[in-house]
Amino acid sequence: QKEVEQDPGPLSVPEGAIVSLNCTYSNSAFQYFMWYRQYSRKGPELLMYTYSSGNKEDGRFTAQVDKSSKYISLFIRDSQPSDSATYLCAMSKSGSARQLTFGSGTQLTVLP
Amino acid sequence: DTGVSQDPRHKITKRGQNVTFRCDPISEHNRLYWYRQTLGQGPEFLTYFQNEAQLEKSRLLSDRFSAERPKGSFSTLEIQRTEQGDSAMYLCASSLNGGELFFGEGSRLTVL
């Protein structure tokens, strides 16, 4: 069993929809949680970074962490076609990100 | 362009040949990471350097793989006697003192 599980999708939504992306993890040593966005044939880019349980908001993006359930989510409000990409959750055991453990990614398409 | 640069972007080789990838990190970044990403999967950690010192290596990094960062600037990843299972995207990332990782666009390896 993988340490980090992520629904691969693909997920297709109409423009303006609210998107919910999720990951579960099994290792309670993970303390830092990130969401990356990866466009086709590009490297991942950091979207959100959280440490504690709770919510963190940045524009149309909200990251949610529930350490007791080992469950993290990314919500995208008012989704746009430019949000179409693969979204990867990632976790590390320390704040100094020596080694990230990634989920397998969810492919999202936002239809105009 | 002052981001992470990787070369070549795509390499096609025959099984048994050696290949070498180069990564030029963001100039002031002291940490450099190599990850491998196969189709439909998230990146997997391979190794990490702080300046010229290789501090961590994943068990994924078999003895056919060697990475160097001789002067604490650019890095090379060499794969000897390539196998079809080595076909993947090899991603390089850099960070300043363990902060946000900035990924390059990757070097795609196809082993025939």
Give the span between the Cα atoms of B61 and A45, in whole angstroms. 24
Query: Which residues of chain A lie closer than 8 angstroms to B58, CB-CB?
Result: 99
A81 by DSSP, 3-state: which?
Answer: helix
Distance between CA atoms of residues B73 and B70, nearest Å: 7
pLDDT classification of A59: cutoffs 50, 70, 90? very high
Q: What is the pLDDT of residue B11?
A: 98
Distances in whole angstroms, Cα of residue A88 to Cα of each of A4, A15, A62, B51, B100: 11, 21, 14, 28, 15
| DSSP 8-state class, residue A82 | G
The pLDDT tens digits of the residues spanning A84-98 come to 999 999 999 876 656
Q: Which of A74, A72, A63, A58 is nearest to A101 (CA)?
A: A72
- The alpha carbons of chain B give a radius of gyration, in whole angstroms, of 13
Cα-to-chain-centroid distance, residue A52: 15
Contacts of B44 in chain A (CB under 8 A): 102
Test the B interface: residue of A2, A25, A100, A104 with most B CBs within 10 Å: A100
Residues of chain A with a CB closer than 8 angstroms to some CB in chain B: 4, 6, 8, 41-46, 49, 88, 90, 95-105
Decide: B10 and B110 in contact? Cβ < 8 Å.
yes
Q: Which amino acid belongs to residue B55?
A: L
Per cent of chain B over pLDDT 70 is 99
- Find chain B residues with C-beta within 8 A of A100's C-beta: 35, 43, 45, 101
* Amino acid, res. B43: P
Ordered per-residue pLDDT tens for chain B, 112 residues: 579 999 999 999 999 999 999 999 999 999 999 999 999 999 999 999 999 999 989 988 899 999 999 988 999 999 999 999 999 999 999 999 888 899 999 999 999 9
Measured between CB atoms, which of A46, A88, A105 is closest to B100? A46
Tokens 């998107």 locate to A19
| pLDDT > 90: percent of chain A | 79
Decide if A69 contacts A5 (C-beta within 8 A). no
Residue-wise pLDDT tens digits, B49-73: 999 999 989 988 899 999 999 988 9
